[in-house]
Chains A and B, each alone.
Chain A
Amino acid sequence: MALFQIAEPGQAAEPHQHRLAVGIDLGTTNSLVATVRSGSATVLADETGATLLPSVVHYAADGQTTVGYAAQLRQSEDPRNTIVSVKRFMGRGVKDLPDSAATPYRFVDAPGMLKIKTVAGDKSPVEVSADVLRHLKQRAEDSLGGELLGAVITVPAYFDDAQRQATKDAATLAGLNVLRLLNEPTAAAVAYGLDNAAEGIYIVYDLGGGTFDVSILKLTRGVFEVLSTSGDSALGGDDFDQRIYCWVVENAGLSLLGDHDTRLLLTHAREAKEALTDHAETRITAKLADGEVVDLALSAEVFQQITAPLVQKTISPVRKALRDAKLDMSEIKGVVMVGGATRMPHVRRAVADFFGREPLTNLDPDKVVALGAAMQANALAGNKGDDEWLLLDVIPLSLGLETMGGLTEKVIPRNSTIPTARAQDFTTYKDGQTAMAIHVVQGERELVADCRSLARFELRGIPPMVAGAARIRVTFQVDADGLLAVSAREQSTGVEASIAVKPSYGLADDEIARMLQDSMQHASEDMLARTLAEARVEAESLIAATRAALASDGQLLDAEERAEVEAALARLQAASAGDAATEIRAQTDALNQATSEFAARRMDAAVKRGLAGQKLSELG
């Protein structure tokens, strides 16, 4: 007979009580939820046995919301109210969208992030994602029979701060306690590495529905250390569908397709792409709204030709990641393929050719991210397993601040291990300046205009001091989710301001990738621009100082001397309006020369005034 167990106060009755935690892969095209049950990770299925949930949400006029396959069925008939690939809009504004004509949606600009007009009202990408997450949460709770303690949500490694914050907000909105945001390739590495007891350096090549990531990890006795990461946040399987769609439109001689026909052909394009994984040829047959019938044969060879540039586009980030990790190809132990799009034979071949070895494809590319996330969720929830491991991840893009002249000062370089913090000191630019604008940016380029703006805030109440005397320490803290918080503090007075960086507006879909590429391509342009900006800053400060001096001590000059100074001032002003840095520097030097005598006289006068002042105070 079993004895009754009596728990100590404050302790669970059951010593091995399992806390329910899940991993969620919130994908561009499909989402999944997984958990660890009796020690092994499994993907949770719906009542029909399906594990993938299409990341599609349909909004009806009566306020009813459908998610997944049911929503996908409405896609052709009601494209405007059926939201697909919403991940592409996370943390983005209307002006960031590359080509809104390619989607059937009507966008509304809103502070922080765009919204999509539907019959059920304007929906932000965060709300749409929350509907997908809510559905997965329900599936998990039904399947596990209890309330969830929390979830690990995966994000592309190349997601910036705004996209990460938007994802976390969506999870919170769906009522999920976010245990951690986890980078997708890292999640895949955990699932792969723990399953295979892998040791050494591995590359994860993750081509999903809408994003491409590459991460290089060092696996040492249960520690997964990300050495570098790179990618393209707007490149994925969807783009391959788009190429087939364009090919169909061209070869069938179609023009000006409506929303319905576009959506129909895109669906057929996706099916053709999937068919070509196992077949040498496939047929695309569709009846358009006006009764016209499209009937074309697409061979694997033609498909490879029209998508070769997309495959090629994945190779540069791989090179970059290798370089950032200071690694040679020979040091790589294996290449792990993740994401549904890596099923395409020509993608696999391109990767094999580049690395000179066959990539590892012995895992389900659709599920491995969710499985890794589930393992991590289980560990974070405090369910002790047989093996313990540790993930050390990095930030994908450098974080910095805007300085004078629209230049970027990098505070935390890309591929820094998180959590990380860094402080940088700045000073005031003008005499008596009492406020300082802090503009936080993310990206690799030298000019702020070419980076992504994350947040702006002001440090106010700096006591008036001469220019350059204040010491303003700006501290960046990036937490284990890769999210940034910034604070600023004037050192001598302790005046403080801080902000948790919330997205102020978004990057265009391909902007991060473009920014990184551009930073390489335009490094020399940047140098020129930087030189010019610096010359201008110097010129402007000299102009301001000269004007102020003329106003306060102009009487120290005779008319001729004053005319000379003013002429030099005008010449510098003219030069500063132009684009020639050397000319600005030359005129800066000229004005400095023209005012040297004036400066000496002002110094004398100031000394005399100082002495006079001292006498007065002595007398008093």
Chain B
Amino acid sequence: MNHFDFSHDHFTLFGLPRAYRLDMATMETAFRALQTQYHPDKAASLTDADKRMALQAATRVNEAFQTLKSPLARARYLLLLAGVDTQEETNTAMPVDFLMQQMEWREAIADARAASDVDSLEALGRELRGVGRAMETDLGLLLDEQSAHAQAATVVRKLKFMEKLEQEVGDAIERLLD
């Protein structure tokens, strides 16, 4: 089994430039190539030391893939590499208009759920996704072109709110359909 360098960051590991905007197809190809090399199945007939190494390497490759695949996790990771804490647990200060919008969405979810209105929930889900996408576009700009880390951290916190909301909409739809 080839040596695996655990000191590499996720981008280096996948042979990708350290950037927010990634070519997903290239990343998936790199992921599969790495797993083909390091997955524990490839070490099943090797020594125990190789098996341990394969477990740790494949675990790291999966972690890297999960991180780079998700727009939110990828942005958070880039900020971490730049030494910026996104303060998602501690910093709950948000612009008032964003908070107001959040409350409106939450009420809309609650209303649609109470009315068992799957169509409205699905429309809401699309709307949220659209807003999330726009934030992801902003992140590309802030991180890759402007190096505006503090602003990017704020967008990351907002995007986390959006993901939670989308999850709620999804759960509500699923409950109504079952």
Interface residues of A (CB under 8 A from B): 19, 179-180, 220-221, 223, 225, 316, 319-320, 323, 376, 379-382, 388, 390-392, 416-421, 477, 479-480, 517, 520-521, 523
SS class, residues of chain A in contact with chain B: mixed
Contact B45 A480, beta carbon cutoff 8 Å: no
Contact of B59 among A220, A225, A380, A420 (CB under 8 A): A420
Contact of B40 among A319, A382, A480, A517 (CB under 8 A): A480
Q: B178 contacts the other chain (Cβ, under 8 Å)?
A: yes
Contact B32 A220, beta carbon cutoff 8 Å: yes
Q: How far is the CB of B49 from chain A (nearest CB, A)?
A: 15
Contact A417 B55, beta carbon cutoff 8 Å: no
Also in contact, A390 and B35, with CB within 8 A (given A382-B45, A479-B55, A523-B171): yes
Q: B41 contacts the other chain (Cβ, under 8 Å)?
A: yes
Interface bits B27-45 vs A (CB < 8 Å: 1, else 0): 0100010011001111011
**A-B contact list, 13 entries, CB within 8 Å:** A180-B41, A320-B174, A381-B44, A381-B45, A382-B45, A390-B35, A391-B41, A418-B62, A421-B63, A480-B40, A517-B178, A521-B175, A523-B171
Interface bits B142-178 vs A (CB < 8 Å: 1, else 0): 0000000000000000000000000000110011011
For the complex, give the distance between the alpha carbons of A100 and B55 in Å. 41
Q: How far is the CB of B146 from chain A (nearest CB, A)?
A: 30
Contact of B45 among A380, A418, A521 (CB under 8 A): A380
Contact B178 A319, beta carbon cutoff 8 Å: yes
Residue of A nearest to B175 (CB): A520
For the complex, give the distance between the alpha carbons of A388 and B65 in Å. 22
Q: How far is the CB of A311 from chain B (nearest CB, A)?
A: 15
B residues in contact with A220, CB < 8 Å = 28, 32
Contact B62 A380, beta carbon cutoff 8 Å: no
For the complex, give the distance between the alpha carbons of A19 and B45 in Å. 10
Contact B41 A379, beta carbon cutoff 8 Å: yes
Residue of B nearest to A390 (CB): B36
Q: B112 contacts the other chain (Cβ, under 8 Å)?
A: no
Contact B44 A319, beta carbon cutoff 8 Å: no
Q: B121 contacts the other chain (Cβ, under 8 Å)?
A: no
Please name the 9 residue pairs, one residue from A and one from B, whose CB atoms are nearest each other, closest first: A382-B45, A380-B44, A480-B40, A419-B59, A520-B175, A421-B59, A417-B62, A223-B32, A316-B178
Contact A520 B178, beta carbon cutoff 8 Å: yes
Contact of B66 among A316, A388, A417 (CB under 8 A): A417
Interface residues of B (CB under 8 A from A): 28, 32, 35-36, 39-42, 44-45, 55, 58-59, 62-63, 65-66, 170-171, 174-175, 177-178
Also in contact, A392 and B59, with CB within 8 A (given A220-B32, A520-B175): no
Also in contact, A419 and B41, with CB within 8 A (given A316-B178, A520-B175): no
Also in contact, A390 and B32, with CB within 8 A (given A479-B40, A480-B39): yes
Contact B35 A419, beta carbon cutoff 8 Å: no
Contact B174 A319, beta carbon cutoff 8 Å: yes
Question: Other than the known A180-B41, A480-B41, what 14 A-B pairs have Cβ atoms closer than 8 Å?
Answer: A220-B32, A221-B32, A223-B32, A319-B177, A323-B170, A388-B36, A390-B41, A391-B41, A416-B66, A418-B62, A420-B63, A477-B59, A479-B40, A523-B171
For the complex, give the distance between the alpha carbons of A391 and B35 in Å. 9
For the complex, give the distance between the alpha carbons of A19 and B44 in Å. 13
B residues in contact with A316, CB < 8 Å = 178
Residue of A nearest to B172 (CB): A523
B residues in contact with A392, CB < 8 Å = 35, 39
Residue of B nearest to A220 (CB): B32
For the complex, give the distance between the alpha carbons of A220 and B9 in Å. 26
Most chain-A Cβ atoms within 10 A of its Cβ — which of B40, B44, B58? B44
Contact of A480 among B55, B65, B170, B175 (CB under 8 A): B55
Contact B45 A419, beta carbon cutoff 8 Å: no
For the complex, give the distance between the alpha carbons of A557 and B95 in Å. 43
Q: How far is the CB of B125 from chain A (nearest CB, A)?
A: 11
Q: How far is the CB of B47 from chain A (nearest CB, A)?
A: 12
Residue of B nearest to A150 (CB): B44
Contact B44 A180, beta carbon cutoff 8 Å: yes
Q: How far is the CB of A479 from chain B (nearest CB, A)?
A: 6
Contact A480 B66, beta carbon cutoff 8 Å: no
A residues in contact with B62, CB < 8 Å = 416-420
For the complex, give the distance between the alpha carbons of A435 and B113 in Å. 44
B residues in contact with A418, CB < 8 Å = 62
A residues in contact with B171, CB < 8 Å = 520, 523
For the complex, give the distance between the alpha carbons of A179 and B40 in Å. 10
Q: How far is the CB of B136 from chain A (nearest CB, A)?
A: 15
Q: How far is the CB of B76 from chain A (nearest CB, A)?
A: 15
Contact B66 A419, beta carbon cutoff 8 Å: no
For the complex, give the distance between the alpha carbons of A418 and B63 in Å. 10
Also in contact, A323 and B174, with CB within 8 A (given A417-B65, A421-B59): yes
B residues in contact with A388, CB < 8 Å = 36
Contact B39 A382, beta carbon cutoff 8 Å: no
For the complex, give the distance between the alpha carbons of A579 and B28 in Å. 50
Residue of A nearest to B42 (CB): A390
For the complex, give the distance between the alpha carbons of A77 and B45 in Å. 46
B residues in contact with A390, CB < 8 Å = 32, 35-36, 39, 41-42
Q: How far is the CB of B24 from chain A (nearest CB, A)?
A: 13
For the complex, give the distance between the alpha carbons of A388 and B41 in Å. 11
Contact B44 A419, beta carbon cutoff 8 Å: no
For the complex, give the distance between the alpha carbons of A390 and B28 in Å. 14
For the complex, give the distance between the alpha carbons of A551 and B112 in Å. 53
Residue of B nearest to A523 (CB): B171
For the complex, give the distance between the alpha carbons of A417 and B65 in Å. 10
For the complex, give the distance between the alpha carbons of A223 and B34 in Å. 12
For the complex, give the distance between the alpha carbons of A26 and B51 in Å. 26
A residues in contact with B35, CB < 8 Å = 223, 390, 392
For the complex, give the distance between the alpha carbons of A57 and B42 in Å. 36
B residues in contact with A420, CB < 8 Å = 59, 62-63
For the complex, give the distance between the alpha carbons of A520 and B28 in Å. 31
Most chain-B Cβ atoms within 10 A of its Cβ — which of A323, A380, A392, A523? A392
A residues in contact with B55, CB < 8 Å = 419, 477, 479-480
Q: How far is the CB of B60 from chain A (nearest CB, A)?
A: 9
For the complex, give the distance between the alpha carbons of A376 and B170 in Å. 36
Residue of B nearest to A418 (CB): B62
Contact B170 A419, beta carbon cutoff 8 Å: no
Residue of B nearest to A377 (CB): B44
For the complex, give the distance between the alpha carbons of A221 and B31 in Å. 13
For the complex, give the distance between the alpha carbons of A379 and B44 in Å. 9
For the complex, give the distance between the alpha carbons of A382 and B45 in Å. 6
Residue of B nearest to A480 (CB): B40
A residues in contact with B41, CB < 8 Å = 180, 376, 379-380, 390-391, 480
